[in-house]
Structure 1
Amino acid sequence: MIVAMDGPAGCGKSTIAKLLSSRLGFVYINSGNIYRAISLAAIERKIGLEEEAALVACASSLTIDCDASGAIILEGRKVEAELRSAAVDAIVAQVSAIPEIRAIVNVIVRRMADGRDAVVEGRDMTTVVFPEAEAKFYIDASVEERAKRRFEQGSSALSYDEILGNIRMRDQIDTNKKVGALKIAPGALYLDTSGLTIEQVYEKVYSKILHSREAHGE
C-alpha cells in the first residue's frame, strides 16, 4: 500500500508521515530529503546553481538510498545531519525546481517504494509520482503557523521573521514550478493542521487509511 502526502514547507507532514510509518510498519520515504542530498552533493562538488547541466549530471551520477526509518544514504554514507544545514537550505528550492532533477528523484522514490508498503511525502507525490496511491493527503497550515513550528524546533539559527520570509519564498517557488508544482490532487484529503495536535491529525489520517484499505479489500 502506498500512502502519499503533499504539502508546503513546515506544514507538519514529516511528523505525521514518520508517525504513520512507525505505527503501521511501513517504509518512510521523504522526497525532499533526496533533493537535499543532491544539493549537498552539489555543494561538496562546488557546483553552482547557474551550472544547471552540471547539477543534472551530478544528480544522475549519485547513488541514493534510505533505510526503513527514512534516513538518507548518499554514496554509502548517512547524511541526515548535513541535510538540514543552512547551505543546503539556501539552494534546495532552486535545485528541486529543475525538471530533469525532478524526473531523476521521481525514479529514485518509485524504486525505493517498489514492492513495499510505504508512506511517501513531498510536494508532488500525490499528483505526479503516485497519482494512483491508495491513500492521498494534502497537509496544510497557515504560513505563520508553519514559521512558528520551524522556529520552535530550534534547529535553525534564523529568527522567526527570517524563517517566515524563507517559507514564503519557498511557497512561491513550489507553487510555480514548471514540473511538479505544489497543488491538491484529485481524491486527496485536505487537512489544515493549524491549531491541531499531532494526535488529532494522526487520527484523521489513520481513519482515511483504514477506509482506503477496506475499499481495496486489504
Structure 2
Amino acid sequence: MVVAIDGPAGVGKSSISVELAGKTGFHYLNSGNFYRAVTYAALRENLDLETQSIVESFAATIQFEYRDGDIYLAGDNITAELHSDQVDAQVAQVSSFRGVREWVNQRLREISSRRDIIVEGRDISTVVFPDAELKVFLDASPEVRARRRFDQGVSGLSLDEIAEGIRKRDEIDRSKEWGRLVRAEDALYVDTSGLTIEEVCAKVVRKIHEITRKNIEETESKHE
C-alpha cells in the first residue's frame, strides 16, 4: 500500500509520517529530503541555482545512496545537513525545475516498488503516486507553521523571518509550473492547526484500516 501525504511547508508532514510509520510498520519516505539533497550538493559546489539547465544537468550526475531512511553523498551521511537555513532558502527554487522533479520522482517510485510506504511531499498524491490507495492533505495556517518551526529551535531566524519565509515558500510551491502544491480531489483533508500529532495520526490510521478491510472484503467476495 502507498499512503501519499501532501501539504505545505512546516505543516508537520515529516513528524506525522514518522509516527504513522511506527504505528503501521510501513516504510517512511521523505521526498523533500531528496530535493534538499540536490540543493545541498549544488550549494556545496557553489552552482548558480537560478539557472535551470545548470541545476538539472548537475542533478543527473549526483550519485546518492539511500540506506535505512538516510541519504548519503560520496559515502557521507548528509541527512543532518538537509534542514539548514541555507538549504531552506534555496530548496523551493531547486525543486521547481522539471528535470530535478522527474529525477526525484523516479527515485521515489523505485524505492516504493518493493514495500508498503508512507511518503510525503508536495505533489505525491497528484503526480508521483496518483493511484495511491490513500491520499492525505495536511494543512495549517502560515502563522501556526512558523510557530512550530520556531519552537523546534533548529533555526537561527526570528519568528517573523520564519513566517515570511514560509509565505514565500507557499507562493512558490503553489505556482510552480511542475509539481505545484494542490489538494487531490479524493484526498483526506486534515487541518492540523488545533490537533496533536497523535490526533492527526489517529484519523489517518482509521482510514488505513478502513481501506484494508475493504480490500480484504473485496478479495474474499471474488473467491466466493
Query: TM-score with structure 1 length normalisation?
Result: 0.96
Which structure 1 residue ranges, 4+ long, deviate > 3 Å from structure 2? none
**Pair 1:35-2:35 in alignment:** yes
- Residue-by-residue CA offset, 1:169-216 (whole Å, 9 max, x unaligned): 000000001011101112110000001111111100100111111222
Deviations 1:28-84 (A, max 9, x none): 11111100000011011111113321211111111234333x222233321111111
C-alpha distance in 1 between matches for 2:66 and 2:143: 32
Q: Match of 1:71, as an amino acid?
A: D
Residue by residue, what CA displacement relative to the aligned partner does 1:114-134 show, whole Å, maximum 9, x if unpaired? 121111000000000001111
Give the equivalent residue in structure 1 for 2:156: 157
- Does the CA-based 8 Å contact 2:21-2:118 persist in structure 1? yes
Aligned to 1:66: 66
C-alpha distance 62-180 of structure 1, shift in aligned 2 (>3 A): same
SS at match of 1:3: strand
List per-residue Cα deviations over 1:63-111 (Å, max 9, x = no partner): 234333x222233321111111122112100000011111111001111
* Cα distance in 2, alignment partners of residues 139 and 66 from structure 1: 26
Partner of 2:222: none
Cα distance in structure 2, aligned partners of 1:76 and 1:22: 27
Unaligned runs of 5+ in 1: none
Matches within 5 A, 1:58-207: 58-68=58-68, 70-207=69-206
Count of paired positions: 217
**Contact 2:50 2:93 (8 Å CA) reproduced:** no
**Which residues in structure 2 correspond to 1:7-46 (within 5 Å)?**
7-46=7-46
Instruction: Assess if the C-alpha contact under 8 Å between 2:17 and 2:28 holds in 1.
Output: yes
- Stretches of structure 2 that go unaligned for 5 or more consecutive residues are 220-224
Q: Is contact 1:29-1:66 (8 Å) kept?
A: no
Distance 1:92 1:116 in 2: 28
Q: Which structure has the bigger radius of gyration?
A: 2
Matches of 1:83 and 1:99, distance apart in 2: 21
Q: Distance in 2 between matches of 1:178 and 1:170?
A: 14
- TM-score calculated relative to the size of structure 2: 0.93
Percentage identity across aligned positions? 49
Partner secondary structure for residue 210 of structure 2: helix
Segment drifting more, 91-100 vs 20-29: 20-29
CA RMSD in angstroms comes to 1.3
How far 1:21 moved relative to its partner? 1.1
Tell me, in whole angstroms, the C-alpha distance in 2 between the residues paired with 1:80 and 1:140: 25
- Aligned equivalents of 1:173, 1:50: Cα separation in 2: 14
